[in-house]
Structure 1
Amino acid sequence: MKKFLIVLFFCFLLLFSIGSQIAFSAIELRISSWMPAKSVDTAIAEYWTKKVEERTGGKVRFTIYTASSLGAMKDHYDMAIKGIADITFHTLSNNPGRHPLSEVLHLPFIIPSSEVGGKVLTQLYREFPEIRAEFDEVKVLGLGTIDTWNFHSLKKPINKMEDLKGLKVRVPGGIASEAVKALGAVPIGLPVPELYMALQKGVIDGTVMGWEGIASFKLYEILKHYTEVGGFTTLTQGLFMNKASFNKLPPDVQKIISEDLGLKWWEEEKGKLFHDKWAEEARVLVRKHGGNIYSLPPDEKKRWVDAILPIREMWVKTMESKGYSSARKILNRALELSAKYSK
């Protein structure tokens, strides 16, 4: 009888242990980025997932996939829609024209930093239902911009607008192509992962890119001249979640990832803590590898701005022709917000 009771007791303990594990098992979520393992997006993912795990008391656990291991760069928005990943980092320029009103911040000389860009884009998302409608297929956890882009070249320094004449410059496509063309260069559309080899083979003469990209893709190993133009352009990006995956989460977890550490965190912290900080660190890295950094003087920058300003009006007219009657209002509001948050 005593043996039976001992066996019964241990069976009870085993069942209790298994039951406890089932009751308190964490929700497993997959988060994907097309960027390399050593990149600002991965650093953000590691920081953000750790914060979510802490705030939820271990209710949620993440597996981070990098370097397009779950899907190609251009597919990351659709991956969130289809649930290939529960959450994805997606850069909107990877699908030009898919989120046309949100691309207003791609227009040249509007956004001076990632910190300002995150605040402006998030506020536009809150204010304009037309922008919210562009993301109907997913749950938006965060919106922002990367660091602002500059001109970087292999052989020829770019100190004035005339230095761009005829240069083959890699662009992500869309608005940036028109801006580069207006300055006299030849825009070449090329995915970022192909950029290093294209520079190495002399297929292109240079690129427009943020400092964080120079570091992430090790372009400091091959580029020699870096021209800071002061907010030439930027790229909008977001953290997007599959709707079914989001709806399965407990309400308290939903609030943490979509509000406390969602839109609010992306608006107020992400750009400042990561993109702008990485830009500073990339400058140091470039100098260590013998790169020459040059900043346009104010009078020369004004020439660039004047040459590019007509592109804003062109964007408005294009959007209006496609039925987006609020395009001008959105542009004007973006300019107002940028000025406000830049003070």
Structure 2
Amino acid sequence: MTLVSSKSIFNKSIKTKASLGVAVLVTSLSFQAQATTFTLSNWVPPTHFVTTDILNVWAEQVQTATEGRVKIRMLPKPVGTPAQHWELARKGIVDITWGNFTYEPDRFKSIWFAEMPFNGEDVEASSVALWDTYETYLAGNPTYAGVKMLGVGSLGPGVINHGSKAIVSSEDIANQKIRMGGPIQKRLIEELGAVPIAAPATKAFELLAGQVLDGSLHTLESVVNFRLTDQLSHHTLIPGGFYDGTFFLVMNEGKWKRLSAADQATVMSVSGTVFSRLWGQTFQREIDQAYAQLREEGHQFSQPTEELMSKIGSVRQQMIQDWAAEHDSYGIEQPLEMLDYYRQRYTDLSK
């Protein structure tokens, strides 16, 4: 029978605890080493609802879903202009960016179908329908190479806003100087007999104050958030929207591929449809709140005459035909089939 001294047992216990402590420390350090932080360039202010209620929320969801293995660090200021953000991600200058497809309309002509008149008034439905359409028809298109699409979203129904009168007929809008952005809006304004003035939404206040403009195209949310409520008091609500806008959230493809397959799947579990739904719900809330605020402040809301609606419809139909005829230039074999798919998805989602 071998006797083991209490001192020996004590020493072994100390060694065991020390070994366990080292193991825990190594495991902790290993976990920290595996955590990956991606940079995100954001071109709206930190107080803007896109920052606080969409991008920050999504970044937190990513970190939570991956148990801290993937983190998003928003840069203190944008790396480039809004129109440069697709390239910033594609070239890997920053890891993640978001932006407006309309800022590069020729490059993203394949997505024009989602910016036409009568796109829809349910922003959540249009955003998710756009994601489904991208996944089905555009994910393999060379235009979108070099990045991983993490989500898309819609702007919501565009409104004809005027500083002094209701725009309800073609006669009302004729010769009016209207701020617009992008080729679809430009053609609509021209075809309706108005004078298009190309300028970013951020310049609208200055141009309206200087009487360079008579009116400006915005969603109701933008009228409020760009502080144009004093300059634009008349709003023509076109059923289905006068136009729409489309947005992206993308990551550099090389950076995306560095993630494990498991983490890629986890990130996408809170991106894609989930992100597009978050985007649409947030924009819808902002539009609804803006409508209520403008109503309370005594703004005038008008509906277009049948004559104006018919003319907008005719312009829309011709634009769709012209867009479809150029399908070879943007690499879509059946553009009208894609459009029909998008419209059906919107209808199903908005029920």
**Pairwise same-fold verdict (TM > 0.5):** yes
Q: Quote the offset at 1:290 in angstroms.
A: 4.0
- Check 1:63–1:196 CA distance in 2 against 1; reply closer, same or farther (3 A cut): farther
Matches within 5 A, 1:131-280: 132-230=141-239, 231-258=241-268, 260-271=269-280, 273-280=281-288
Deviation sequence 1:66-88 (CA, Å, 0-9, x none)? 7x622101101011112222111
Determine helix, strand or coil for the equivalent of 1:141: strand
- Worse-matched range after superposition: 129-138 or 295-304: 295-304
Q: Quote the offset at 1:91 in angstroms.
A: 0.6
Which of the pair has more CA radius of gyration? 2
Identity %: 23
Determine helix, strand or coil for the equivalent of 2:270: helix
> C-alpha separation between the residues in 1 aligned to 2:307 and 2:187?
22
Matches within 5 A, 1:34-49: 34-42=43-51, 43-49=53-59
Gaps of 5+ in 2: 1-16
How big is the alpha-carbon RMSD for the aligned residues of Structure 1 and Structure 2?
2.9
Maintained 8 Å contact 2:163/2:215: yes
> C-alpha separation between the residues in 2 aligned to 1:168 and 1:131?
40
Which of the residues 28, 41, 44 maps onto 1:32?
Answer: 41
1:165 maps to amino acid:
A
Which of the residues 337, 340, 343 maps onto 2:345?
Answer: 337
Residue of structure 2 in register with 1:54 after alignment:
64
Q: Quote the offset at 1:326 in angstroms.
A: 2.3
- Worse-matched range after superposition: 287-296 or 274-283: 287-296
Maintained 8 Å contact 1:227/1:293: yes
Q: Quote the offset at 1:22 in angstroms.
A: 6.0
> C-alpha separation between the residues in 1 aligned to 2:222 and 2:131?
23
TM-score (ref. length: structure 1): 0.85
Determine helix, strand or coil for the equivalent of 2:130: helix
> C-alpha separation between the residues in 2 aligned to 1:130 and 1:18?
41
- Across the two proteins, how many residue pairs are aligned to each other? 332
Deviation sequence 1:26-71 (CA, Å, 0-9, x none)? 42222223233333321210111111122122223322247x6221
Which of the residues 304, 310, 313 maps onto 1:305?
Answer: 313
- Check 1:322–1:128 CA distance in 2 against 1; reply closer, same or farther (3 A cut): closer
Deviation sequence 1:97-151 (CA, Å, 0-9, x none)? 1111112111221333322222322222222257643211211001221212111
Determine helix, strand or coil for the equivalent of 2:272: helix
Maintained 8 Å contact 1:36/1:216: no
Determine helix, strand or coil for the equivalent of 1:195: helix
- Check 1:88–1:251 CA distance in 2 against 1; reply closer, same or farther (3 A cut): same
